[in-house]
Structure 1
Amino acid sequence: MMGGTVISLRGATKQFGGLVAVDNVSFEVREHEVMGLIGPNGSGKSTTLNLISGALPATDGDIALKGQEITGLPARDIARKGVARTFQLVRLLPSMNVIENVMAGAVFGHRRRWGASAERHAKQVLETVGLADKAKAHTSQLTYIDTKRVELARALAGEPEVLLLDEWLAGLNPTELTEGIDLIHRLRDEGRTIILVEHVMDAIRSLCDACVVMSSGKKIAEGTTDEVLSDPEVIRAYLGDDDA
């Protein structure tokens, strides 16, 4: 059951000096939808996530969360309103163990928790991502997928309504990838709205209800995953075949 619009971008634009990294991009993400943000490297996908999360201010355009303007708000305020994200490069706090990292997310997130409440909640979240047995482990002892799970747990600890996943599945082996896809399915079934920047086509086909395709900062296609992936312009953008 899709609900109303949760995130909407209207003419979102980001310039870095003379470079237009995101060029007049508009799209909407509906409640409980998994939206894929896809396209070749350097097409502006991560920058678009940064605009939504407030990590970067938009140069122009409007971004709204449930009809409420969030353009120009600091990242921490947007997180408080219920938007959490993961990063391409995992950013764990090395001085803290796994559960402390997750509790840090609970403190800064949408629903703030402290002390015993934060710890109980962090344990639940670690169970969700399959890390209950590693709560006291030091982050330096973790495998690659487990560091990614901790980062996801930290994002989830704030109980976000919207989850932004920036290539969260990148670098996983086939077994881990299957586990990762299952995990994202479960999060969606719990009622979250998810925007994911992803290159793994199996994951995109399996997870995404809809996709927005970007190329050189512009939106070149939008629609259901099947429609978009069979669009000749999208195929051309990915293959980089200018003669096609």
Structure 2
Amino acid sequence: MANTVISLRGATKQFGGLVAVDNVSFDVREHEVLGLIGPNGSGKSTTLNLISGALPATDGEISLRGGTITGLPARAIARKGVSRTFQLVRLLPSMNVLENVMAGGVFGHRRRWGQSAERHAMQVLEMIGMADKAKSHVGQLTYIDTKRVELARALSGEPEVLLLDEWLAGLNPTELTEGIDLIHRLRDEGRTIILVEHVMDAIRSLCDNCVVMSSGKKIAEGSTDDVLSDPEVIRAYLGDDDA
């Protein structure tokens, strides 16, 4: 059985009286693509924020390859090998495409610098089909290209775990197909990915397993096909006609 890379045990996040993530536990194995799904406001992005260190957990434990990362600042967790994208793309506006991607390598897992960081950033841009725009200003990019650059920046940190927070959101149908193909390539490279996503075609084609959240709690976990046919999951998404 593959090694566990990320493990959550009783992860909880409270904002005052609101429990956004309520005692959530799951494991992500090496080379697995795990879908973290559920209706809006169910706690998915907050869970990613706990894993990446963007928010501190109120309770519970999160570990990376057996070592506790709970309570570490985001920069330390990035150094240990967790990279992410955000729902709203956050590029560095004063830097060009190549410099944005290099930043991921400088502050990432391997701490590349200088020519090594530049070479590696160019390799990542080539892999995602953006090498011809390396010198472009980020303000000149189309929406999907800004998303590609943010993904490239996350990848240039050479992460052990990649967290994608609705990376496919807002894309038109053609871009969506391209986006799913790109994540497929990352999956085929054997990367370990946690994917927060509402696009069910992407979940079905990309994810080995899914964790389903509703109102901060985990309500289902298992293979993608099993989870998406679970009556409780269908109720959570569509509402209960008898309610």
TM (norm. structure 1) is 0.98
Q: Distance in 2 between matches of 1:183 and 1:167?
A: 14
Q: Distance in 2 between matches of 1:185 and 1:65?
A: 24
Give the secondary-structure state (helix, strand or coil) at the position aligned to 1:159.
Answer: coil
Say whether residues 1:49 and 2:45 are aligned partners: no
Q: 1:118-133 counterparts in 2 under 5 A?
A: 118-133=117-132
Give the secondary-structure state (helix, strand or coil) at the position aligned to 2:83.
Answer: strand
Does the C-alpha gap of structure 1 residues 242 and 57 become closer, same or farther in structure 2, counting only changes over 3 Å?
Answer: farther
| Structure 1 position 176, deviation (Å) | 1.1
Give the secondary-structure state (helix, strand or coil) at the position aligned to 1:80.
Answer: helix
| Structure 1 position 242, deviation (Å) | 5.5
| Structure 1 position 191, deviation (Å) | 2.1
RMSD value, Cα: 0.9
- Conservation of the 8 A alpha-carbon contact between 2:187 and 2:206: no
The equivalent of 2:15 in structure 1 is 16
Amino acid aligned to 1:143: T
Give the secondary-structure state (helix, strand or coil) at the position aligned to 2:22.
Answer: strand
Q: Distance in 2 between matches of 1:28 and 1:39?
A: 17
Give the secondary-structure state (helix, strand or coil) at the position aligned to 1:214.
Answer: strand
Q: For each residue in 1:20-42, what CA deviation from the matched residue of structure 2 results, as whole angstroms up to 9, or x when unmatched?
A: 00000000000000000000000
Q: Distance in 1 between matches of 2:93 and 2:144?
A: 16
Q: Distance in 2 between matches of 1:241 and 1:130?
A: 44
Q: Distance in 1 between matches of 2:172 and 2:74?
A: 32
- Conservation of the 8 A alpha-carbon contact between 2:37 and 2:198: yes
Q: For each residue in 1:114-143, what CA deviation from the matched residue of structure 2 results, as whole angstroms up to 9, or x when unmatched?
A: 111111100000011110110000001000
Q: Distance in 2 between matches of 1:48 and 1:130?
A: 30
The equivalent of 1:236 in structure 2 is 235
Say whether residues 1:138 and 2:137 are aligned partners: yes
Q: Distance in 1 between matches of 2:99 and 2:190?
A: 26
- Unaligned segments of structure 2, at least 5 residues: none
Amino acid aligned to 1:71: T
Q: Distance in 1 between matches of 2:201 and 2:3?
A: 27
Q: Distance in 2 between matches of 1:117 and 1:150?
A: 19
- Unaligned segments of structure 1, at least 5 residues: none
The equivalent of 1:85 in structure 2 is 84
Q: For each residue in 1:148-203, what CA deviation from the matched residue of structure 2 results, as whole angstroms up to 9, or x when unmatched?
A: 00000000011001000000000111111111111111112222100000000000
- Superposed structure 1 runs of 4+ greater than 4 Å apart: none
The equivalent of 1:115 in structure 2 is 114
Q: Distance in 1 between matches of 2:22 and 2:241?
A: 21
Q: Distance in 1 between matches of 2:55 and 2:188?
A: 30
Give the secondary-structure state (helix, strand or coil) at the position aligned to 1:186.
Answer: helix
Number of aligned residues: 243
Which shifted more, 2-11 or 129-138? 2-11
Q: Distance in 1 between matches of 2:208 and 2:127?
A: 23
Q: 1:1-244 counterparts in 2 under 5 A?
A: 3-241=2-240, 243=242
TM (norm. structure 2) is 0.98
